[in-house]
Chains A and B, each alone.
Chain A
């Protein structure tokens, strides 16, 4: 029986947990969501599976391989990404070993002392984890898990315990959520604190951070700064959060934010406050036994 649904209803973290607990072997495919124009049972726009975006393979509840469809994902790409092969080396290698399996290529690279066995294993592991952590932030895509399927023979499989992946993935998601909550509104502005010169003295910033700092002004919203620097919402949030935590910039919050938050907290909602427990009916054992007998007699 395949497991299928949408990540907005059943997250990757929950799926990994399910696969881990049930010790499954098979493939989890994640697809681009194509709006059908209809609504699902919860009145949310129905998304049909489109082209495949990613696939994750499992063996007996362990993660063994992952691939994004828009990435090559062979060993050369993996080692290149890990910095074990330069761009030029990767290009040459790709020409020379056309058609060779990852396993054959790994043996050649190790025997030629390009890389060690540990380099190969660690690079593959990191590559797979990066993909899975990335997928864990997706929340709108249709998915389908099919039992049994395994990656192509030529791939090198590195079994990874899912417990650690789930914990680390959840931690990362929590961090993203915290940052998103902290900088919920991108229409806020940034300003420098008092004595900015003192604060910036001796501080080493990345290029991206400098690019953001260069636009800090009470006239520029965070959204505008992101647009100017061609950054995604999450990228700008992460950088602004870091700068703010380091005391290098201050967020100018619109005053209405606090009031709105207070009002929302005061309003509460169903489910957050459990209802008062009701009196249980006083029913005797005999009544239940008679009900059981009656039901048993029904055909």
Chain B
């Protein structure tokens, strides 16, 4: 059986776990732990400390694994391990939290340095009233025009599916180039 892997990365609380949970056919193997710092607790109650793990079975011979990276910097030693052998990666950005944009850009650059694989940027929480539009986010994050920056609502399966499809199209284009 062949397995392929995609990595979902992004800052703390950007929606990586929810993204995987929305589309995985198995209960996400989540390594979330209760958040200890009060300030982080306000964002969410649990955070991913090692990785999230989801699966989509294509057929008897092919399985797609989705790995979510831990969002907090103190677990970033895991990133390089998770990036190994990935087919492509998705950078999740919380569109309503501009304080995380710089961190998102830094994570994007780090992952680009790990492997020259295709990637897309998912502008999550587009249903939020304070969300920055994808056009504004592209300028804010200095995303080049040829990189896909896609609107996303991580708890909506169709939205997640569309982001994954766009990444696969990019991978395909990359192969054909």
Which residues of chain A have a CB within 8 Å of any CB of chain B? 1-6, 8-10, 14, 17-18, 21-22, 38-44, 270-271, 274-275, 277-281, 283, 285, 287-296, 298-299
Say whether A41 contacts B64, CB under 8 Å: no
Chain B window 95-117, contacts with chain A (Cβ cutoff 8 Å), 1 for yes, 0 for no: 00111111100100110011111
B114, B117, B158: the one contacting A275 at CB < 8 Å is: B114
- The residues in B between 14 and 40 inclusive whose CB is less than 8 angstroms from any CB of A are 23, 37-40
Say whether B168 contacts A3, CB under 8 Å: no
Say whether A1 contacts B132, CB under 8 Å: yes
Q: Given the interface contacts A41-B43, A43-B37, A278-B84, does A295 sit within 8 Å of B99 by beta carbon?
A: no
Instruction: Given A41-B12, A275-B110, A288-B87, output 20 extra A-B contacts at Cβ < 8 Å.
Output: A4-B98, A5-B98, A17-B139, A18-B136, A22-B135, A42-B100, A44-B99, A270-B110, A274-B109, A275-B80, A275-B114, A280-B116, A281-B86, A285-B175, A287-B62, A290-B62, A292-B168, A292-B172, A298-B23, A299-B158
Say whether B140 contacts A4, CB under 8 Å: no
Say whether A271 contacts B110, CB under 8 Å: yes
B144 on the interface (CB 8 Å rule)?
no
Nearest A residue (CB) for B128: A1
Bound Cα distance A294, B63 (Å): 10
B149 on the interface (CB 8 Å rule)?
no
Residues of B within 8 A of A285 (CB): 172, 175-176
Say whether B80 contacts A38, CB under 8 Å: no
Say whether B4 contacts A10, CB under 8 Å: no
B148 on the interface (CB 8 Å rule)?
no
Q: What are 7 A-to-B residue pairs whose CB atoms are below 8 Å?
A: A4-B98, A9-B101, A21-B139, A22-B139, A40-B97, A293-B58, A295-B165
B59 on the interface (CB 8 Å rule)?
yes
Residues of A within 8 A of B131 (CB): 1
Bound Cα distance A9, B175 (Å): 37
Say whether A296 contacts B165, CB under 8 Å: yes
B120 on the interface (CB 8 Å rule)?
no
Say whether A291 contacts B139, CB under 8 Å: no
Residues of A within 8 A of B43 (CB): 41
Say whether A288 contacts B171, CB under 8 Å: yes
Say whether A43 contacts B130, CB under 8 Å: no
Say whether A277 contacts B98, CB under 8 Å: no
A185 to nearest B CB, angstroms?
Answer: 27
Which residues of chain B have a CB within 8 Å of any CB of chain A? 2, 4-5, 11-13, 23, 37-40, 42-43, 56-59, 62, 64, 76, 80, 83-87, 94, 97-103, 106, 109-110, 113-117, 130-133, 135-136, 139-140, 157-158, 161, 164-165, 168-169, 171-172, 175-176
Residues of B within 8 A of A278 (CB): 83-85, 114-115
Residues of B within 8 A of A42 (CB): 11, 99-100, 103
Residues of A within 8 A of B164 (CB): 295
Q: Given the interface contacts A18-B139, A271-B106, A275-B80, does A288 sit within 8 Å of B172 by beta carbon?
A: yes
Residues of B within 8 A of A290 (CB): 58-59, 62
Residues of B within 8 A of A21 (CB): 139
Residues of B within 8 A of A4 (CB): 98, 130
Say whether A295 contacts B113, CB under 8 Å: no
Say whether B97 contacts A291, CB under 8 Å: no
Say whether A291 contacts B157, CB under 8 Å: no
Bound Cα distance A288, B165 (Å): 10
B120 to nearest A CB, angstroms?
Answer: 14
Say whether B4 contacts A291, CB under 8 Å: yes
Nearest B residue (CB) for A43: B39
Nearest A residue (CB) for B73: A270
Residues of B within 8 A of A10 (CB): 98, 101, 140
B138 to nearest A CB, angstroms?
Answer: 9
Say whether B169 contacts A292, CB under 8 Å: yes
Bound Cα distance A285, B174 (Å): 10
Nearest B residue (CB) for A144: B130
Residues of B within 8 A of A292 (CB): 165, 168-169, 172
A102 to nearest B CB, angstroms?
Answer: 32
B2, B42, B176: the one contacting A287 at CB < 8 Å is: B2
Bound Cα distance A1, B127 (Å): 11
Residues of A within 8 A of B56 (CB): 291, 294-295, 298
Say whether B172 contacts A277, CB under 8 Å: no
